[in-house]
């Protein structure tokens, strides 16, 4: 796992659970409002001991922490994500995954192996504006497949859109709302300039 950052404690990122957060290195999107641009490149090298350090930290705080949030970057780009999540689950922690939804196959494998306890997926924009909001060409069929998978997973989850007023209007949010699977929670978060 390429881990580009670690936060040892959060009460606000994993609903109902005190958790730690890891930020994976590498993203296939280039959202113009991204606060984590230092995590875009997969060629940035970090200490090879980072993963080991995260695992031993989690082990040490079993009982105080209940979960680990895996965010990015885009976590599903990590080829050894399944192996890493399995190790975290074996320590007894719940796992929340944040994803941009670009790899439904990876999500399917995680779900089929019962490795995820909560999923949050960004729905960036209406289909016709998706590429613009992601700063790259996006396979919208993959986004749709991920939304369907998550919506029908039976797991706690939510979808969210960052309201970036330079490129999105209120009418766009209304269009995105209609894309959200029935019964799923949907959150619009305001873009905050850095």
Instruction: Give min distance, CB of 114 to ligand SF4, in A.
Output: 25
Least gap, CB of 154 to ligand SF4 (angstroms): 25
> Minimal distance in Å, beta carbon 63 to ligand SF4?
31
| Cβ distance to ligand SF4 smaller for residue 38 or 60 | 38
The nearer residue to ligand SF4, 24 or 110, going by C-beta atoms, is 24
- For 75-101, b/e burial (b = at least 16 CB within 10 A) is bbbbeebeebbebbbeeebbbbbbbbb
Give the footprint of ligand SF4 on this chain (CB under 6 A). 27, 29-31, 34, 36, 39, 72-74, 100
Nearest to 25 by CA among 51, 58, 53, 2: 2
16's CB contacts (< 8 A; 6+ apart) are: none
Contacts of 136 (CB under 8 A, 6+ apart): 28, 29, 30
DSSP-derived letter for residue 194 is -
Min dist. Cβ of residue 191 to ligand SF4 (A): 10
**Residue 89 Rama label (left phi>0; alpha psi -120 to 50; beta):** alpha
**Residue 118 C-beta: closest distance to ligand SF4, Å:** 17
Q: How far is CA 105 from the centre of its chain?
A: 15
Pick 85 or 125: Cβ nearer ligand SF4 = 125
């Amino acid at each position: 796992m390429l881990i580009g950052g670690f936060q040892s404690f959060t009460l606000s990122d994993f609903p109902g659970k005190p958790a730690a957060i890891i930020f994976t290195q590498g993203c296939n999107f280039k959202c113009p409002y991204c606060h984590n641009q230092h995590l875009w490149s997969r060629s940035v090298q970090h200490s090879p001991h980072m993963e080991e350090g995260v695992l031993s930290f989690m082990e040490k705080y079993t009982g105080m922490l209940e979960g680990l949030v895996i965010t990015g970057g885009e976590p599903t780009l990590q080829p050894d994500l399944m192996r890493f999540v399995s190790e975290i689950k074996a320590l007894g922690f719940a796992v929340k995954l944040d994803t941009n939804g670009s790899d439904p196959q990876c999500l399917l494998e995680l779900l089929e192996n019962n490795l995820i306890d909560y999923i949050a997926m960004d729905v960036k924009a209406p289909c016709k504006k998706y590429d613009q909001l992601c700063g790259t060409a996006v396979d919208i069929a993959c986004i749709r497949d991920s939304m369907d998978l998550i919506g029908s997973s039976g797991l706690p989850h939510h979808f969210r859109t960052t309201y970036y007023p330079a490129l999105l209007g209120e009418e766009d949010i209304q269009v995105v709302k209609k894309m959200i699977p029935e019964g799923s929670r949907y959150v619009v978060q305001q873009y905050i300039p850095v």
